[in-house]
Amino acid sequence: MKKQLKIIAYCHIKNNTISINGKSIIAKDKDLSFSDFVKQIYKEKQLAYPKFFKMDNLCKLAFLTSEFLFEAAKLDSKIIKHTGIVLSNSASSLDTDRKYQDTITDKDNYFPSPAVFVYTLANIMIGEISIRHQIKGENAFFVSEKFNETLIEHYASSLITNKKSSHILCGWVDMDNNNYDAFMYLVSEEGLYNYSKKIIKKTYTQN
């Protein structure tokens, strides 16, 4: 039996604007660089999580989106611990891959760094979110040309039907040459919003 999914909460970060459940809660100057934008947010949220500053831009984006989402979702910590995480994007970790490549291309200026290399995997963002919230649930990272809400819905639904997860953090977190876009939503069999592709699509594109 396929499960009818419900959406518990959703968060979108794009163009230096953060919205929760479709309502904009923070809007910064669009001309602000990504690193200045996230620094401001980190400060205002009083996050006190020094690991944040070691992360690459992709992980910072994923981390912040999940912070706002979990805050809005108000899930029980026992549920959070077993939440599945199914994320996706288009550029994988290429934004950081290019930076790493720059450290090895010139043999006279060869300085490969383990601290950069470790972020040359897109699923590291799942690891960062898992560490932050002590989530030991199912993981998968998909890559698609564009946000493929059907793929994510099918996989989330399969995880619930196969009794692997009851709650799933789904989404799209892309970072590519200063263009970024993050959209995350929590689904389960119970939630505030009925799940439909239309809602996901509309919410994802409206900002």
The 8-class DSSP code of residue 54 comes to: G
Spatial CA neighbour of 67 closest among 15, 5, 28, 20: 20
HSE toward the beta carbon, residue 126, CA cutoff 13 A: 24
Q: Is 122 in the site for other proteins (CB under 8 A)?
A: yes
Q: Please say whether the dihedral angle defined by the alpha carbons of residues 64, 168, 181 and 102, taken in this order, is positive or negative.
A: positive
Kindly tell me which residue out of 7, 61, 85, 182 binds other proteins, with binding defined by CB under 8 A: 85
Question: Is the CB of 28 or the CB of 138 nearer to other proteins?
Answer: 138
Of the residues 138, 191, 199, 207, which one makes contact with other proteins according to CB under 8 A: 138
Instruction: State how far Cα 125 lies from the chain centre.
Output: 7
Q: Which stretch binds other proteins (CB under 8 A): 14-22, 139-147, 166-174, 197-205?
A: 139-147
167 vs 169: CA distance, rounded Å: 7
Q: Is residue 123 close enough to count as binding other proteins by CB under 8 A?
A: yes
How many CB atoms are located within 10 Å of the residue 171 CB? 28
Using rule CB under 8 A, residue 110 touches other proteins: yes
Residue span binding other proteins (CB under 8 A) among the ranges 12-20, 37-45, 125-133, 178-186 = 125-133
Q: Letter for the amino acid at 91?
A: A
What are 12's strand-pairing partners? 19, 183
Q: How far is the CB of 9 from other proteins (least distance, A)?
A: 21
Query: Site map for other proteins, 159-198, x if CB under 8 A?
Result: x-xxxx----------------------------------
SS3 for 180? strand
Nearer to other proteins, 19 or 95 (CB): 95
Residue closer to other proteins (CB basis): 159 or 182: 159
Candidates 34, 35, 30; CA nearest to 17 is 30
Of 5, 18, 41, 126, the residue at the interface with other proteins (CB under 8 A) is 126
Tell me the C-alpha distance between 194 and 154, whole Å.
16
Contact residues for other proteins (CB under 8 A)?
Answer: 2, 85, 90-92, 94, 97-98, 100-101, 104-105, 107, 110, 112-114, 117-118, 120-128, 130-131, 133-145, 148, 151, 154-155, 157-159, 161-164
